[in-house]
Amino acid sequence: MSSSTDLAAVSADAVASHSRSMAHRLVSGAGSASLLAFRLAPDQLSSALAHGMTPSGQFLVAGYADAGDPVTSVADGRAIDVRVDLSKEAPEPALRLVCATAQMVGTLTWLSPDETFLMLVDGDLPDRVAEIAESENGRVGVIETDRVLLRDSLGVTPMDVDTLVQAARCPKAWEAAYPSADQEWDAYDLVASVNELFLRRICHAVADGQIAGTICGRRSSTHSCEHTLGRVFVADIDRTGVTVMSVESEETVIAFAAFRHPATSLDDLAVQLSCLIEDSVPAR
């Protein structure tokens, strides 16, 4: 097997792992969530203020009871059909870029105050869901669904929920996703501290087939804002790799560069970034 074939296989595996990681991060609390009760109120979206997963893999949403909202005012214990839309933006503060969305269709059932209290006591609620649960008029709902439909720059990927929350692989779902919503800014600060020359070199190395990864998109830079020209932006960071967008004079390239090994902490991330910089040095 040639080295180019080896790299192609590694890249394919890395891209598949990245898609699973992105979906896992979204259902574990990354990004924002909205709910559409398509039978009850098909023209009115409701925003969930928090979402996440329990250690056993239940997908939860949290919000505040509002008599004017047909979703959050549904009685405890009554199951309603909903579509859940999750959206994840890039951590880059210099521009707005949606890096992935996910959709789920299932049923929503709001828990009773007693059920919510028991989950709080047992420590089963992710932090942001727990904050709302402890607030006045706060409600926690369970979404029952089997499938997640991930949409990102690489296309549309359907996934079974069970593959994201297998107990043997991730006994605590929100701990298994890296970076979590609370860890993302530290991860971003670390990647953004790398000289843009090195980040651009990583992008080019993926494009040239020198390191594992894939080109997520290319487009003309003709209509790019002047302040973005010549810049490299951090589009996403996860346990599998880093996604950067290089805006050059003629072309804008978005590349996912795969890590040698998964990063599960800030220290791991620093090591894997160093490896990417080393591996992207042009061959002489």
Query: What is the share, in percent, of the chain residues with pLDDT greater than 70?
Result: 92
DSSP-assigned states of every residue in 22-47: HHHHHHTT-SEEEEE-TTT-TT-EEE
- The distance from CA 86 to its chain's CA centroid, rounded to whole angstroms, is 9
- Quote the pLDDT of residue 2: 40
Residues in the chain: 284
Q: Residue 186: pLDDT above 90? A: yes
HSE-CB at 283 with a 13 A cutoff on CA atoms is: 5
Phi, psi torsion values for 234, nearest 5 degrees: -90, 115
Model-level pTM?
A: 0.88
Q: Residue 202: pLDDT above 60? A: yes
Question: Average pLDDT, stretch 130-148?
Answer: 94
CB-CB contact of 207 with 215 (8 Å): yes
By the 10 Å C-beta count (0-12 exposed, 13-18 middle, 19+ buried), 40 is classed as: middle
What is the Cα–Cα distance from 53 to 59, expressed in whole angstroms?
Answer: 5
The pLDDT tens digits of the residues spanning 50-91 come to 999 998 889 999 999 988 888 999 999 999 999 999 999 999
The more confidently predicted of residues 205 and 4 is 205
The pLDDT tens digits of the residues spanning 98-127 come to 999 999 999 999 999 999 999 999 999 999
What is the Cα–Cα distance from 245 to 76, expressed in whole angstroms?
Answer: 45
What is the Cα–Cα distance from 150 to 101, expressed in whole angstroms?
Answer: 6
Helices 266-279 and 196-207: crossing angle in degrees, nearest 10, is 60
